[in-house]
């Protein structure tokens, strides 16, 4: 079974469109993640919910975001991944890899190295900015290319 | 909370459950001439048609794609999302084709079977590991044809090949591969077999691995007329404007004249990528004349001054070579709903959704990052 063929069948030949939509959802979720983190770190009073609720929502939203990111990343890896030209595609690959490197750093800080916890806001902010770069090097090109 | 922890697993399980029915769905029926182009594949990948059949590719993806013969005998040119392109093939044989925009991912095989009439030309492919990962071979290695039949030899690999009779009675000469080891479409050449008999042939470059045999029956008509004259025009006019070629896909007979005129306000050139043909710098209003290559095939060209924006393909037609530009002239289907900026783009709904998502993301993330940054500054 060819996975790209399967994914195209599943999406009615609109695989790229679905990736564009999911990437945009992931980007929005990443923005919400940083906002929620700022709330439960008490760096912000927005949104007006308790820190506990912000923490729980952050975890739930994080799992959703990572799951969607993995699905989109896999469809990229088995589909058109590989080219390093043009530069936009190369940058997209670099940022795509960087996201998972930052996620690994975040989980390490959470589970294995509690002392690294003070870096979590910066890792989270970096994740958001990297998702923004991924969006800019894929979706932005998609909607402006033609 | 347990359900939350299992969310990724549940999502993946759902994906598999949704995928399972599709995986067991039978492949699309290969009814003949209708085929689809999707991102980044052909559906079906293998198609068998009778000689003379018109194959219509509909691009149902979101990106422009082409269906291009690896041997250079047809090229749909980029087909916009929602549009169609047609190619009619009269020469029986196997055609490895690909998308020249996504050559690594999009490959298909088109098999043209002989029709009711005796074919006057038969295609033989020279295959190698080049870009398709195949082994060195002729496809097909054994043929039986009537005297007077033309063998159209297409190099669909990444190395040079020839089709040469062991006894020297015919020889295509070296047929060049596509540029960059088969990244681009290769060339084709032809020989006409007039004498009855059994002829073993080989590739002069790979004589040990590439061998075949052709059995020629009957007698060729006296006079030895070619199977079919080239349908290509003896000369073609190409204009350079600011910043495009008009036309950007031109056809001409082998050895024909290509007349280039600079109709723009900036200097331009017409420079072929794979052969040493170049007009040099043409001032506004100036013109030049090039002689097309003798070997049939597709030759990409560009303006050396504006290579990113000014590109085109010159199709040199040989005997029994279909003119892809003549086919492409058929009116395409209406493209998908245009985007705000141009035809074939994503729909306005998609554009609005992704832009709204980006604004929301930037707004939420911006507040969050700012909060962290401001708290850090306050702490210090």
pLDDT of residue B140: 92
pLDDT of residue A105: 94
Q: Where residue B343 falls among pLDDT bands split at 50, 70, 90?
A: very low
Look at residue B231 and tell me whether its pLDDT is greater than 90.
Answer: no
* A20, A139 Cβ separation under 8 angstroms: yes
Of the candidates A17, A25, A60, the beta carbon closest to that of B346 is on: A17
- B298-317 per-position pLDDT tens digit: 677 888 776 666 777 787 77
**CA atoms of B306 and B295, how far apart (whole Å):** 27
Q: Where residue A63 falls among pLDDT bands split at 50, 70, 90?
A: very high
Look at residue A125 and tell me whether its pLDDT is greater than 90.
Answer: yes
Average pLDDT, chain B: 76
What global pTM score does this model have? 0.43
Look at residue B93 and tell me whether its pLDDT is greater than 70.
Answer: yes
> Which chain A residues are within 8 Å of B104, Cβ to Cβ?
82-83
A81 vs B286, residue with greater confidence? B286
> Which chain A residues are within 8 Å of B64, Cβ to Cβ?
146
- B157-187 per-position pLDDT tens digit: 888 888 988 888 888 888 888 776 677 788 8
> Which chain B residues are within 8 Å of A140, Cβ to Cβ?
358
With a CB cutoff of 8 Å and minimum separation 6, the contacts of B34 are B56, B58
Task: Determine the distance from the C-alpha atom of residue A94 to the mean position of all C-alpha atoms in its chain, rounded to a whole number.
Answer: 13
Look at residue A79 and tell me whether its pLDDT is greater than 90.
Answer: no
pLDDT of residue B188: 83
In the block, residue with structure tokens 């506004």: B284
pLDDT of residue A80: 60
In the block, residue with structure tokens 């980006």: B358
- B99-149 per-position pLDDT tens digit: 888 887 888 999 988 887 777 788 999 998 876 678 889 999 999 888 888
Between A and B, how many CB-CB pairs are < 8 A?
172
> Which chain A residues are within 8 Å of B8, Cβ to Cβ?
63, 66-67, 70
With a CB cutoff of 8 Å and minimum separation 6, the contacts of A93 are A81, A84
Q: Where residue B360 falls among pLDDT bands split at 50, 70, 90?
A: very high
A35–B8 CB contact, under 8 Å: no
Q: Where residue A83 falls among pLDDT bands split at 50, 70, 90?
A: low
B371–A82 CB contact, under 8 Å: no
Residue of A nearest to B345 (CA): A146
């Amino acid at each position: 079974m060819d996975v790209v063929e399967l994914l195209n069948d599943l999406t009615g030949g609109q695989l790229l469109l679905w990736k564009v939509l999911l990437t945009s959802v992931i980007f929005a979720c990443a923005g919400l993640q940083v906002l929620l983190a700022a709330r439960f770190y008490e760096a912000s009073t927005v949104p007006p919910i308790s820190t506990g609720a912000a923490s729980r929502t952050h975890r739930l939203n994080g799992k959703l975001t990572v799951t969607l990111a993995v699905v989109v990343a896999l469809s990229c890896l088995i589909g058109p991944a590989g080219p390093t030209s043009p530069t936009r595609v190369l940058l997209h690959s670099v940022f795509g890899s960087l996201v998972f490197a930052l996620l690994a750093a975040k989980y390490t800080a959470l589970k294995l190295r509690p002392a690294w916890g003070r870096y979590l806001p910066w890792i989270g902010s970096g994740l958001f900015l990297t998702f923004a770069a991924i969006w800019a090097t894929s979706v932005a090109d998609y909607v402006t290319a033609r | 909370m347990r359900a939350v922890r299992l969310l990724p697993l549940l999502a993946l399980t759902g994906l598999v459950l949704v995928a399972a029915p599709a995986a067991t769905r039978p492949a699309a029926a290969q009814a003949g001439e209708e085929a689809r182009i999707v991102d980044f594949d052909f559906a079906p990948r293998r198609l068998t048609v009778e000689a003379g059949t018109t194959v219509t590719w509909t691009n149902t993806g979101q990106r422009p794609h082409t269906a291009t013969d690896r041997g250079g005998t047809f090229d749909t040119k980029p087909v916009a999302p929602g549009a169609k392109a047609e190619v009619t093939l009269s020469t029986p044989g196997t055609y490895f084709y690909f998308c020249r925009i996504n050559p690594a991912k999009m490959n298909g095989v088109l098999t043209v079977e002989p029709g009711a009439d005796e074919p006057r030309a038969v295609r033989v492919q020279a295959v190698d590991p080049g870009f398709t990962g195949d082994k060195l071979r002729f496809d097909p290695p054994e043929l039986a044809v009537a005297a007077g039949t033309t063998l159209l030899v297409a190099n669909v690999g990444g190395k040079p090949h020839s089709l040469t009779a062991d006894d020297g009675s015919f020889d295509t000469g070296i047929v060049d591969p596509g540029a960059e080891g088969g990244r681009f479409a290769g060339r084709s050449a032809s020989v006409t077999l007039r004498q009855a008999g059994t002829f073993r042939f080989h590739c002069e470059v790979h004589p040990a691995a590439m061998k075949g045999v052709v059995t020629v029956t009957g007698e060729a008509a006296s006079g030895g007329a070619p199977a079919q004259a080239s349908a290509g025009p003896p000369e073609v006019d190409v204009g350079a404007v600011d910043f495009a070629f008009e036309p950007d896909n031109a056809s001409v007979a082998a050895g024909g004249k290509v007349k280039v005129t600079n109709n723009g306000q900036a200097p331009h050139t017409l420079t072929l990528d794979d052969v040493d043909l170049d007009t040099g710098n043409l001032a506004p209003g100036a013109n030049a004349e090039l002689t097309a290559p003798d070997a049939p095939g597709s030759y990409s060209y560009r303006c050396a001054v504006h290579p990113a924006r000014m590109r085109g393909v010159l199709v040199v037609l040989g005997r029994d070579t279909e003119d892809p530009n003549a086919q492409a002239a058929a009116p395409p289907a209406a493209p998908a709903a245009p985007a705000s900026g141009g035809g074939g783009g994503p729909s306005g709904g998609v554009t609005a959704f992704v832009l709204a998502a980006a604004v929301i993301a930037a707004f939420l993330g911006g507040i969050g990052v700012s909060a962290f940054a401001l708290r850090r500054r306050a702490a210090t």
